[in-house]
Structure 1
Amino acid sequence: MPIASTVTEPFPIYAIHGRYLLFDVDVVSHIRKTYHMCGCLSGTLPQIPQQNVFLGLPLELMTEEAALLVEKQAAYIVDDVAAHTRGLANMSQETKTDYLEARRRECEKEALKHQKEVDEKKRQFKGKGKQEEEAKPEERQEEEEKENGEDSLFAAPSSNESAVQLKADSLLFYPTATVSDPSYHSPAPSTSLVARPDPNSYPLYKHLHNLGYFLSPGLRFGCQFMAYPGDPLRFHSHFITRGLGWDEEIDIIDIVGGGRLGTGVKKAWMFGGKPEGDDTETRVFCVEWGGF
């Protein structure tokens, strides 16, 4: 069993066009276990871009999650575009050559492995077909040979064409690392990029997070956050939440709609806020609709 890698804090959060991403699987596991943050996996395979069930790295963090990690000094924001450009510019020619050579060897190794698997499947298929042909009567075999002549629309491609296609396909299989090569770059914190969460919702997020709740985006339930009493893989959410400004008025229609919505999905609708610039505790209220 592999030993889990130790994550060094603060770790980088990569900002790309206003999105906060994590590319290291060890960091993803660390923040889930230590800081009760799950994020949303958003990565897909290049050849299967329309996956919608089993997504992978990178993990996208909510703005509130990124801001809280920075506030706790567990992470720092990196301008990924600038870091990428700077890393390539500072990489020596020798390092580039070594890296490209290592990648070439990995690709060749994976391509050879894939080609062997394809050849083995072809041998098994030919052996099975040969056994079936030997079991057929001679007359039926002659009729099939006539039907499957050279002019047939469904004639099999030539061996040369198959070989070329297999070689081309085999080059598409190569390993992708979950972390950057150590020689690539050491990202420095960005002085211009700062995670700026919504001032109305962030106090409620921090309040629930400090109470031990796991929070995730609540768009599909018509709210800002879903609040889980434990890991979402083990628990259903208890609250659908909405953060409000301290002096913001609440329309009675919103209270009725939120209460009915929460009760309809077997949860409670929670809203709350905190005076701006005040150290008092965030106040929250729950609404449950009776008579359902």
Structure 2
Amino acid sequence: MSDIIVNVTLSNLDGNWCVSDGYIFSLEDIKRLRQLGICGVLTGTLGTLAQQNVFLSVPLRLLGEEVLWIITNGHGRLNVTQSSTVPLSLRSTSVREQVRDDNATLIQRSFALQRDTKLKEHLSKTQKYGQTGAVPGDPALFQETPNDSLVLKHTRRDPAAAAALLLASSLLRDQYCHQLDLFSYLKRQNFVVSPGARFGGKYIIYPGDPLRYHSHLIVADTQDYHRDPLDFSAISAGARLATAVKKTWVLNAQIPETREITCFSVEWAGFG
């Protein structure tokens, strides 16, 4: 059985290389991930109907924890691409500037056509309803926004072999180790883990496939026993929120020396 292909993108931000979230484009890989309890979030939509986000499709977006879990457990491998889609021949400054100028000309022509079309529609409507106060060609009617993203100004070649190390180094920082340990702990309990921002938590926990079960738990961010304060108002607020949506609020903490995760469930009992 072939490995699951996780697509990641290398980006250069102010001279620092970083790795994007993982994306899955193969339906077969998505099926295999679902059997492993990794559901991700579908993000594909139609470019011309972006507002129709109810019927999303591939690619499947994965959290950083999910990507590392797949790789470290031997279920898949990384496919690394550059953030720039510009071919190597365009990395020359002179060629890139020429392409940018040509694109700028095409954009201006496109704007002119759109402006003429919108102007004709506007005049037709004003004549229909007898409103002729607007001055034709008024620049306030048409706002142009520049588009400089067609050709990236800063590109760089980097060995794809370093992507796995870069991914691990960017995700395994001190503040992120706790999240990865928590995710691995929940997976060992045979839970299906999904992002929990819509319920005010770090993760939402399902006892099985989300198409068969409702989520049962809302897991908060991992805390440090020795350094992080225990906010009772946040605990009561989280528990009340979870109970209101028929779930349980889960606190968790980690002992830094052993990296052992301990969880506590909290329910709100003060109704009325």
TM class by shorter chain equals 0.5 to 0.7
State whether residues 201 and 273 of structure 1, in contact with CA within 8 Å, keep that contact through their aligned partners in structure 2: no
Distance, in Å, in 2 between the alignment partners of 1:257 and 1:82 is 41
Distance, in Å, in 2 between the alignment partners of 1:41 and 1:189 is 27
Cα offset, 1:63, TM superposition: 1.1
Q: Which of residues 242, 256, 277 is equivalent to 2:220?
A: 242
Alignment of 1:1-292 (within 5 A): 7-9=1-3, 11-16=4-9, 18-33=20-35, 35-81=36-82, 190-195=163-168, 196=171, 198-247=176-225, 248-278=228-258, 280=260, 282-292=261-271
Corresponding residue pairs, total: 186
Cα offset, 1:291, TM superposition: 3.1
**Residue type at the aligned position of 2:210:** P
Identity in percent: 31
The alpha-carbon distance between structure 1 residues 71 and 84, as it changes in their structure 2 partners (threshold 3 A), is farther
Distance, in Å, in 2 between the alignment partners of 1:83 and 1:14 is 14
Distance, in Å, in 1 between the alignment partners of 2:84 and 2:75 is 20
**Residue type at the aligned position of 1:285:** F
State whether residues 239 and 268 of structure 2, in contact with CA within 8 Å, keep that contact through their aligned partners in structure 1: yes
Cα offset, 1:51, TM superposition: 2.0
Distance, in Å, in 2 between the alignment partners of 1:64 and 1:199 is 10
The alpha-carbon distance between structure 1 residues 22 and 85, as it changes in their structure 2 partners (threshold 3 A), is farther
**Residue type at the aligned position of 1:75:** G
The alpha-carbon distance between structure 1 residues 276 and 246, as it changes in their structure 2 partners (threshold 3 A), is same
Cα offset, 1:192, TM superposition: 4.6
The TM-score normalised by the length of structure 2 is 0.62
RMSD, aligned CA: 2.6
The alpha-carbon distance between structure 1 residues 54 and 78, as it changes in their structure 2 partners (threshold 3 A), is same
Distance, in Å, in 1 between the alignment partners of 2:180 and 2:32 is 22
**Residue type at the aligned position of 2:26:** D
**Runs of 4+ with >6 A deviation:** 82-86
The TM-score normalised by the length of structure 1 is 0.58
Distance, in Å, in 1 between the alignment partners of 2:193 and 2:162 is 26
**Equivalent residue, structure 1, for 2:95:** none
**Residue type at the aligned position of 2:55:** F
Distance, in Å, in 2 between the alignment partners of 1:259 and 1:244 is 16
State whether residues 245 and 274 of structure 1, in contact with CA within 8 Å, keep that contact through their aligned partners in structure 2: yes
The alpha-carbon distance between structure 1 residues 279 and 241, as it changes in their structure 2 partners (threshold 3 A), is closer
State whether residues 269 and 287 of structure 1, in contact with CA within 8 Å, keep that contact through their aligned partners in structure 2: yes
Whose Rg is larger? 1
